[in-house]
């Protein structure tokens, strides 16, 4: 898989340009911004990293997670997701243009990876709950591939929730926190999944706690998202397109993830980084901006060595938990 398969450069760059404009328009008034502790380990020590889109980012002194601090308040973030041109572009242009490619290259393989992980855990899940289900493509792939028999979506966007309902899934139209507080939904999931959400949320501990609440005791929680100690994010720093506040606010380190899972009273089963794109992302970013200052070895690796060596390096990143795309597999304690 190539970055251009799932994020064509022209569409991605339009989205990022709109995000920068939105950052200025929606968050000009900083009086309601608040400081926060590390979203991974909850530590308060930090050192400044850089400023991106007008937002300050810091590294946690204890776990190395990278995070936006201070952050906007929840009401302003909610208004941003409801009303911003960048979010509208994502929902109406970006995602629809790559949805079918992503179904084949991401959502289908995602189901098979989960099947393998659950088999390793000796589990055949019946009830699978997707939190942040979007238009339900993951659940459709579950149904098509016979994974889970009771497929349910939690989705705050009312249009997307309706789409999931029309596809025949049980739907909670709201946030994970609201579903977790509903007795018809709490404690029922054999497997609760949430893909590419954790980097967006203001409080990852609340988010993971909400997922845990939706799982039954002994049930599994699987989260995927961006890892701040992964290769392309760590090498590119401020130049990483993935570091895109106000959409992306958290880039947890592996140590930060381990601390977060522990804080949420979940048992960590495994931390994986199956991302395939780190080296490709670095090469694409350098091709767009040849003058960018990056580590010389990293530039050599991304731009000059044979494709087979780049692929071998990407496989090394995957094998050793060093890609910027992570999967966290945890179990709710019984």
- Taking CA atoms, 248 is separated from 19, 107, 306, 311, in Å, by 10, 21, 33, 27
Closest C-alpha among 280, 276, 277, 330 to residue 303: 280
Asked whether position 57 contacts Zn ion by CB under 5 A, the answer is no
Q: Is 236 helix (H, G, I), strand (E, B) or coil?
A: helix
Nearest approach, Cβ of residue 170 and Zn ion (Å): 36
Asked whether position 8 contacts Zn ion by CB under 5 A, the answer is no
Question: Hey, what are 283's tokens?
Answer: 């090469």
- Taking CA atoms, 167 is separated from 54, 101, 121, 164, in Å, by 40, 19, 30, 5
Asked whether position 239 contacts Zn ion by CB under 5 A, the answer is no
* 324 and 273 Cβ atoms separated by less than 8 Å: yes
What is the pattern of x (binds Zn ion, CB under 5 A) and - over residues 134-153?
--------------------
Parallel/antiparallel/unpaired status of strands 150-154 and 127-131: parallel
* Distance (Å, whole) CA 177 – CA 124: 26
Asked whether position 108 contacts Zn ion by CB under 5 A, the answer is no
Asked whether position 68 contacts Zn ion by CB under 5 A, the answer is no
Residue whose CB is less far from Zn ion, 64 or 108: 64
Residue whose CB is less far from Zn ion, 38 or 202: 38
Residue whose CB is less far from Zn ion, 62 or 102: 62
Q: Of 18, 49, 59, 62, which one interacts with Zn ion (CB under 5 A)?
A: 62
Asked whether position 282 contacts Zn ion by CB under 5 A, the answer is no
Q: Of 63, 66, 244, 277, which one interacts with Zn ion (CB under 5 A)?
A: 63
Asked whether position 228 contacts Zn ion by CB under 5 A, the answer is no
Residue whose CB is less far from Zn ion, 250 or 314: 250
Residue whose CB is less far from Zn ion, 38 or 142: 38
Asked whether position 257 contacts Zn ion by CB under 5 A, the answer is no
Q: Is 61 helix (H, G, I), strand (E, B) or coil?
A: coil
Nearest approach, Cβ of residue 131 and Zn ion (Å): 24
Q: Of 5, 33, 43, 88, which one interacts with Zn ion (CB under 5 A)?
A: 43
Nearest approach, Cβ of residue 42 and Zn ion (Å): 7
* 214 and 154 Cβ atoms separated by less than 8 Å: yes
Residue 9 contacts by C-beta under 8 Å, 6 or more apart in sequence?
A: 284, 288
Asked whether position 38 contacts Zn ion by CB under 5 A, the answer is yes
For 98-109, the DSSP string reads HHHHHIIIIIHH
Secondary structure letter of residue 265 according to DSSP:
T
Q: Of 12, 18, 41, 234, which one interacts with Zn ion (CB under 5 A)?
A: 41
Asked whether position 40 contacts Zn ion by CB under 5 A, the answer is yes
Query: Site residues (CB under 5 A) for Zn ion?
Result: 38, 40-41, 43, 60, 62-63, 65, 256
């Amino acid at each position: 898989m190539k970055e251009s398969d799932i994020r064509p450069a022209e569409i991605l760059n339009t989205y990022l340009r709109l995000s920068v404009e939105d950052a200025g328009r929606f968050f000009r008034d900083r009086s309601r911004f608040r400081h926060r502790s590390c979203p991974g380990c909850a530590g308060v020590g930090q050192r400044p990293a850089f400023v991106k889109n007008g937002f300050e980012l810091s590294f946690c002194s204890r776990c190395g997670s990278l995070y936006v601090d201070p952050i906007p308040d929840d009401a302003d973030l909610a208004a941003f997701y409801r009303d911003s041109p960048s979010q509208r572009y994502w929902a109406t242009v970006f995602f629809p243009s790559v949805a079918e490619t992503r179904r084949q290259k991401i959502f289908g393989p995602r189901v098979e990876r989960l099947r393998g992980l659950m088999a390793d855990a000796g589990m055949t899940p019946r009830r699978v709950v997707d939190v942040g289900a979007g238009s339900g493509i993951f659940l459709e792939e579950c149904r098509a591939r016979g994974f889970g028999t009771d497929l349910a979506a939690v989705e705050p966007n009312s249009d997307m929730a309706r789409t999931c309902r029309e596809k025949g899934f049980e739907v909670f139209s709201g946030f994970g926190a609201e579903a977790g507080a509903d007795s018809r939904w709490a404690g029922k999931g054999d497997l609760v999944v949430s893909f590419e959400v954790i980097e967006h949320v203001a409080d990852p501990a609340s988010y993971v706690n909400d997922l845990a609440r939706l799982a039954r005791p002994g049930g599994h929680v699987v989260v995927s998202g961006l890892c701040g100690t992964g290769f392309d994010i760590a090498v590119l720093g401020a130049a990483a397109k993935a570091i895109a506040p106000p959409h992306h606010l958290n880039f947890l380190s592996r140590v930060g993830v381990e601390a977060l899972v522990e804080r949420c009273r979940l048992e960590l089963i495994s931390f994986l980084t199956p991302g395939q794109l780190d080296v490709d992302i670095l090469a694409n970013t350098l091709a767009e901006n040849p003058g960018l200052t990056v580590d010389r070895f990293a530039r050599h690796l991304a731009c000059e060595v044979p494709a087979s060596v780049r692929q071998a390096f990407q496989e090394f990143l995957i094998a050793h938990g060093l890609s910027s795309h992570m999967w966290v597999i945890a179990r709710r304690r019984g």
